[in-house]
Amino acid sequence: MADLRNATVLEGNRRTIRYTQAGPSTPREGRADGNAYPFLGFDGMLFAEHEPLILPRDEVVELTVVNDVCLDGTPAYESHPIHLHTNHFQVVGVSSPLGGDYSPDFRLGDWRDTVAVPAPGSVTLRFVARDFGGDTLLHCHTLVHEDVGMQMLVRIV
């Protein structure tokens, strides 16, 4: 796969997605199954509330996944692994209090389908969707987080 670190990214192909999680003083919320869960989503919404994230086919896409603050304003305290179905991505940036050596999980330039996003911090990913058009999934790869809403539909057009 071609190295995308120096690739041109059209402005409309740059997107930022924020992990949204409950904080220490955020009340737990009840769900349809009768259980109470901490809020876990993207951009302040649960999976069912999101419109699909529309991304182009055959163009370089850059996603910055941010994990910086909780709903109550406290700093994010839990790293979340981001996973994209169907397309591998190249890690092109990381922001962390620990610097670029934040994780043994990856190095800048690595191609992955899952990487840990530091808390607090962010990871920037690039990819080109070439062989698939349609709906796929972006989600936290901690299963219980995904199950309670930390996922979104990605539509490649």
Residues ≥6 apart with Cβ < 8 Å to 133: 57, 156, 157
Tokens 């930390």 correspond to: 150
Instruction: Categorize the per-residue pLDDT at 37 as very low, low, confident or very high, splitting at 50, 70 and 90.
Output: confident
Across 10-14, average pLDDT = 95
Q: Identify the pLDDT of residue 34.
A: 74
Tens digit of pLDDT for each residue in 82-138?
999 999 999 999 988 776 556 667 889 999 999 999 999 999 999 999 988 999 999
Distance, in Å, from the CA atom of 151 to the CA atom of 55, rounded to the nearest integer, reads 16
pLDDT for residue 96 = 85
pLDDT digits (tens, 9 = 90+) for 50-87: 999 999 999 999 999 999 999 889 999 889 999 999 99
Asked if residue 36 has pLDDT above 80, the reply is: no
CA distance 87 to 54: 14
Say what the pLDDT of residue 60 is: 98
Residue 32 in this model has a pLDDT that exceeds 80: no
pLDDT at position 106 is: 84
Tell me, what's the pLDDT at 89? Answer: 97
pLDDT beyond 90 at 6:
yes
The whole-number average pLDDT for the span 19-48 is 82
- pLDDT (0 to 100) of residue 100: 59
Taking CA atoms, 10 is separated from 7, 122, 123, 138, 140, in Å, by: 10, 21, 19, 21, 26
Q: Which domains does the chain have, with CATH numbers?
A: 11-156 (2.60.40.420)
pTM comes to 0.91
